[in-house]
Amino acid sequence: MVALLAGTLNAVPVSAGSTPADPSDQSLRALSARHGLYFGTAVDMAALDDANDPQYRQLVQSQFNSVTAENVMKWESLEPTRGNYNWGPADKLIEFAKKNNQKVRGHVLVWQNQLPPWLTEGVNNGTISTTELRELLRKHITTVVKRYKGKIWQWDVVNEAASDPWDNPPTIHLKGFWAQHLGAGYIADAFRWARAADPSALLFYNDYNLEAFGDKGASDKTWYVYKMVKQLRQSGVPIDGLGSQGHLGTQYGNYNVFQVKEALDAFSDLGLATAFTEVDVRSQMTPGVQAGDSNEINPRLQASSDNYSVLLQACLANRHCLSYTVWGFADNHSWVPTWFSNPPEGLATLYDESYQPKRAFYAVKGDLIFSGPPYVQPRIPQHPKR
């Protein structure tokens, strides 16, 4: 058995002299495949289609074996006006993935952000009742999941439902549009509707700040989500996975690999698959960083690299961690600079703005190359349950 596992993990071409070929020239997708892991990225469809930016497409194809739509599968993109669907960009990503032998993570079915204005305004002005809203959500999930039936590996069914300790009140609770209008039951409903529409897709709850447990008190978000998904499973709700987004910043302390592994293990002990779904590690862009001062840039690149590595090593060490997806792979196509402007933040991805690999790229590559038994074993596939 040990020999069999070692054989799987060391499936790197071996040169004539029986020394493994130098794997450092291999892609992230090839190196991940040795572990049964999928290395994914969020894809910006405008960049993918930009003929003046060929490197973007080339890297998506060559380095990644899983893709997630950064925006085009969100409700506002799919149904910008009521009843009129805009499938084009999402269809294109599905076709692209098929052509390039990539899995697709579907993102996202139920979220309080990027909802179409016709929906939120209709609810706010009273023309859409609560009963109708629930029916619209059922129809949305059913329509989207059925359209891509058999083509999506993992769906983010419910995204970012839990509050943060800095919200008011700091006791973690269900937040946002859906909980406010439909109550807590929308979460179980969403999973059931998604399962009915595609019984073969893995159904995930996805959220940020779930990398490790805190004090397991009322303001510990990871603990809250752990209890929530445990309850969902105990009630027979068809949930298959926990997506930990992995948006980190180098200005924070963050976690060590053992803390992160402990959290993944706790979720997988509930019978769930796990995945890192939106990894990036941003830094504050001080005037020194912006002026190119290496004294300020280098520690940030190193801290970013360390955090990428911590999340990947923990994922590798949890056999139920199926995929490690970065939320964009190059600093010229990252949500971070537009989102965090005061103070400005950036430097969050694996490649710089000219598509040069950064220290973090080499760190994750090294992690994939230099890991194996006994602590890193092949993934255990997850199949939809219930």
Which residues of the shown chain bind ligand G3I in the complex (CB under 6 A)?
70-71, 113-114, 159, 245, 278, 335
Residues 294-333: b if buried by 16+ CB within 10 A, e if exposed:
eebbeebbebbbbbbbbbbbbbbbbbbbbbbbbbbbbbbb
From 70, 79, 211, 278, the catalytic residue: 278
Q: What six digits make up the tokens of 185?
A: 């039951």
Cβ-based nearer residue to ligand G3I, 12 or 47: 47
Q: How far is the CB of 280 from ligand G3I (least distance, A)?
A: 9
Annotated catalytic residue, options 70, 79, 160, 211: 160
To the nearest whole angstrom, how small is the minimum distance from the Cβ of residue 4 to ligand G3I? 39
Which residue, 274 or 371, has its beta carbon nearer to ligand G3I?
Answer: 274
- The letter for the amino acid at 316 is L
- Is 353 an active-site residue? no
Considering beta carbons, is residue 109 or 360 the nearer one to ligand G3I?
Answer: 109
Contact 133, 182 (CB under 8 A): yes
Residue type, 70: E
**How far apart are alpha carbons 365 and 374 in whole angstroms?**
19
Closer of 31 and 59 to ligand G3I (Cβ): 59
Residue nearest to ligand G3I (CB): 335
CA distance 201 to 153: 5
How far apart are the C-alpha atoms of 277 and 275, rounded to whole Å? 6
Q: Is 246 exposed, middle or buried (0-12, 13-18, 19+ CB in 10 A)?
A: buried
Rounded alpha-carbon distances, angstroms, from residue 125 to 76, 115, 139, 309: 19, 16, 21, 48
Calculate Rg over the CA atoms of the chain: 21
- In terms of CB distance, is 80 or 236 closer to ligand G3I? 80
Residue 298 beta carbon to ligand G3I: minimum distance, rounded to whole angstroms: 26
Quick one: tokens of 256? 């060590």
For residue 185, the minimal CB distance to ligand G3I (Å) is 23
Catalytic-residue membership of 160: yes
- In the complex, least distance from residue 279 CB atom to ligand G3I, rounded to whole angstroms: 11
State the catalytic residues. Answer: 160, 278
